[in-house]
Amino acid sequence: NINPCVQIIIHLLSVISQNSAGQFFSSGHTNNWAVLVCTSRFWFNYRHVANTLSVYRSVKRLGIPDSHIVLMLADDMACNHRNPKPATVFSHKNMELNVYGDDVEVDYRGYEVTVENFLRVLTGRLPPSTPRSKRLLSDDRSNILIYLTGHGGNGFLKFQDSEEISNVELADAFEQMWQKRRYNELLFIIDTCQGASMYERFYSPNIMALASSQVGEDSLSHQPDLAIGVHLMDRYTFYMLEFLEDIHPASKTNMNDLFKVCPKSQCVSTPGHRTDLFLRDPGSVLITDFFGSVRKVELTMDAINLTDPINPVNGEEQKEVYSYADQLPVSEIIHQKPKQKDWHPPDGFILGLWTLILLVFFKTYGIKHLKHIF
């Protein structure tokens, strides 16, 4: 039997004209994923969480569902006790825009955001009991957006003030993803100090990278809010958010406009980008190819046979009468027999000790005592 998916596609191709079929498969990707990571802990790094949440908000607004977003926040700012407005994270001062929202799902939070977990998510090497929402289940037709923010330096990014990931490790992880066919095209955005050093070592095809500052430059934060008391956003992501707010799912804006976001006059640092590994021309890549999830709908006029519904079998009524357990049965507890400890064979140490004692005994007193024992 032919796979029903193949049947539908054959049917589709035979019905519609060649032009539409070509358009259907032109951009090369069929699904979108996003991995958004904030690597900083502590209240004064509020702006890194706000950066990540603003990208999360844009990506959700443009259509990528929560099941296709892996959001990693290293610390909780919204319900932090220092937050004067709980359950909110603001990106603009005077509390204009709450990027935390009412419908947020954080997949990795707190101590779970480590270099190991990040690399495992990217390469797909997670323990078997990891739930689906924590996995990056991309295939070779997925476009993935990876956004990192935090404190970084020349060639490394700091995770939670206790470990770091180097640009070589990141490049190798992307190469693993390429070898395992885990992405079609990858857009890598990083907003840290000296961010351009992180994409210097990439060598896998189909990766486009953007960074907020060149090597030797610091990425600066945008503006503090006096009521909250910390800086709310970093400059590069702030202007990128403003740029993304104008994009809607049907926009035709392309990557060249994204490269122009935050010139030196606004950002103080020089944003950089790298497109030499990318096969397509950046001018033909739409923003929504990575930030949005434009889903293609297949129409079919055929009837599809569903399997028969499962009819529950009504078992005979149990004659047993159930009852609720006594919550604090005092007499039962007092007379509870102690648990029988499982018998374990004696340890090697104990065996060795007894052998030593027996040997010493027989050495001292001679072998003739043996017959009294056996």
Binding site for another protein (CB under 8 A): 41-42, 76, 78-79, 85-88, 100-112, 127, 129-134, 160-162, 309-310, 312-313, 315, 317-330, 333-334, 336, 338-339
The label of the residue with tokens 């072998």 reads 367
Closest CA to 236 of 252, 214, 253, 251: 214
How many Å from the N-terminal Cα to the C-terminal Cα in the chain? 77
We find the least distance from the C-beta atom of residue 103 to another protein, in angstroms, to be: 6
**Sign, Cα dihedral of 176, 178, 182, 186:** positive
Q: Collapse the DSSP code of 62 into the 3-class scheme (helix H, G, I; strand E, B; otherwise coil) and give the result.
A: coil
We find the least distance from the C-beta atom of residue 212 to another protein, in angstroms, to be: 24
Closest CA to 65 of 109, 107, 32: 32
Beta carbons of 232 and 224 less than 8 angstroms apart: yes
- The pair of structure tokens assigned to 100 is 């935390």
Beta carbons of 285 and 255 less than 8 angstroms apart: yes
CB closer to another protein, 5 vs 313: 313
Between the CA of residue 205 and those of 107, 171, 175, 201, what are the distances in Å? Answer: 28, 11, 9, 12
Is position 68 annotated as part of the catalytic site? no
Q: Collapse the DSSP code of 282 into the 3-class scheme (helix H, G, I; strand E, B; otherwise coil) and give the result.
A: helix
Beta carbons of 213 and 241 less than 8 angstroms apart: no
Of 38, 193, 262, 267, which residue is the catalytic one?
Answer: 193
In this structure, the chain runs to a length of 374
What is the DSSP pairing of strand 142-149 with strand 185-191? Answer: parallel
- The pair of structure tokens assigned to 196 is 């351009």
CB closer to another protein, 55 vs 208: 55
- The pair of structure tokens assigned to 178 is 């390429």
**Sign, Cα dihedral of 119, 125, 128, 134:** positive
CB closer to another protein, 90 vs 239: 90
CA distance 288 to 33: 12
We find the least distance from the C-beta atom of residue 280 to another protein, in angstroms, to be: 35
We find the least distance from the C-beta atom of residue 283 to another protein, in angstroms, to be: 38
Tell me the residue type at 225. Answer: D
CB closer to another protein, 110 vs 249: 110
CB closer to another protein, 5 vs 328: 328
Is position 193 annotated as part of the catalytic site? yes
The catalytic residues are 151, 193
